Amino acid sequence: MTRVRLCYHDRCFDGTASAALFYRFYRECFETAAEFGFTGMTHRAKQPWEEGLFDGDENAIVDFKYSNSSKVTWWFDHHQSAFLTPADALQFREHPGRHMYYDPTYKSCTKFIATVANEKFGFDISPLAELIHWGDIIDGAQYASAEAAVEMVEPATQLALVIEAAPEDGLPARIIPELAYRSLAEMVQLPLVAQHLGPLLKRHRDSIEILRQRCDSRDGVVFFDVADLDLEGYNKFIPYLLHPEAIYSVSVSASKVRAKVSLGTNPWNLANANANLATLAEKYGGGGHQRVSAISFDPADLPGAREVAATLAAQLRQS
Ligand SMILES: [Mn+2]
């Protein structure tokens, strides 16, 4: 029996959906009985690939950075900042592994994996159409309005809230095998999801009031600092609901594993949104996509995070 180590972007709807899609794809196209172990990956200030992590016969990474380890047999990513070093990027370009796929033009990694699995391996993606659709909406910020992104009535957005913010370590890993075979409406009824939903929806509504007090919107940039609160998993569209005039958002938050500066673009005010936020974040060791990116700091370096956030907010206000 093949053992598969599947590393995915933790606490992220697209990362979890990518893992579910890969899980079903591998079982249907390669080995039904393969034994999976799931590892959620978090962006941190230090090198993410720890010794001994790739312990499977197959080691897969989805919706997360490239690893130059020869043990990695599958890789799918769509982030602009996919490579830790220029040497890694060169290695991938010159000697891509047989099952290594990278395309930063995809709005979601879920859709990217689905397309490759279908076109190259004949995987039937029709049962997963709903999941693929929502992966693109959520990771690509393609909601009709800020209200639609924040109101949390769709099962997909409720599930995303639980994946991103539930205070239970390892929860996405328990969600993945279910998500591979169930509808989103069924998913939010499952006890492992439903038990978190009530408290998280209340916390979400409270966070709108907190951000109403903390947001400072000037010259096209809404800035807020919530590093003193347990609020890392806040909904990233709330600032644009409160300040539709903003083009960008810059924020500081903190958790046990990192201090974090987040940069975002208002998806409903794109006329003058020309800054590449991934490129800006890369200057400080972070990364992401053109329209949304982040920089992770050691949890002890909150002052450093605050300084970088202030610098970037000032820079975006002048752009
Ligand atoms: Mn993604």
Å from CA of 70 to ligand 1 middle: 23
3 state SS of 92: helix
3 state SS of 160: helix
Dist CA 27 CA 41 (whole Å): 22
Å from CA of 192 to ligand 1 middle: 23
**Tokens 């000697």, located at residue:** 95
Q: How many residues does the chain have?
A: 319
Å from CA of 163 to ligand 1 middle: 14
* One-letter identity of residue 303: P
Å from CA of 17 to ligand 1 middle: 9
Å from CA of 159 to ligand 1 middle: 16
Dist CA 5 CA 73 (whole Å): 10
In this structure, what DSSP letter does residue 189 have? T
* Count of other CB atoms within 10 angstroms of residue 98: 6
Å from CA of 106 to ligand 1 middle: 9
Å from CA of 26 to ligand 1 middle: 19
**What pLDDT tens digit does each residue of the chain (319 aa) get?**
999 999 999 999 999 999 999 999 999 999 999 999 999 998 876 778 888 999 999 999 999 999 999 999 999 999 999 999 999 999 999 998 899 999 999 999 999 999 999 999 999 999 999 999 999 999 998 999 999 999 999 999 999 999 999 989 899 999 999 999 999 999 999 999 999 999 999 999 999 999 999 999 999 999 999 999 988 778 999 999 999 999 999 999 998 889 999 999 999 999 999 999 999 999 999 999 999 999 999 999 999 999 999 999 999 999 8
* pLDDT at 45 (0 to 100): 67
Token pair for residue 62? Answer: 């989805």
* pLDDT at 230 (0 to 100): 85
Å from CA of 289 to ligand 1 middle: 9
* pLDDT at 189 (0 to 100): 98
Domains of the chain: which residue ranges?
3-191, 215-318
Residues linked to residue 76 through DSSP beta bridges, in sequence order: 62, 101
First to last CA, the chain: 56
Question: Which of these CATH numbers, 3.10.129.10, 3.60.20.10, 3.10.310.30, 3.30.930.10, describes 215-318?
Answer: 3.10.310.30
| pTM, rounded to two decimals | 0.90
* pLDDT at 233 (0 to 100): 77
Token pair for residue 66? Answer: 């490239």
Å from CA of 241 to ligand 1 middle: 23
* One-letter identity of residue 298: D
Question: Which of these CATH numbers, 2.40.160, 2.60.40, 1.10.3470, 3.90.1640, describes 3-191?
Answer: 3.90.1640
Dist CA 45 CA 229 (whole Å): 21
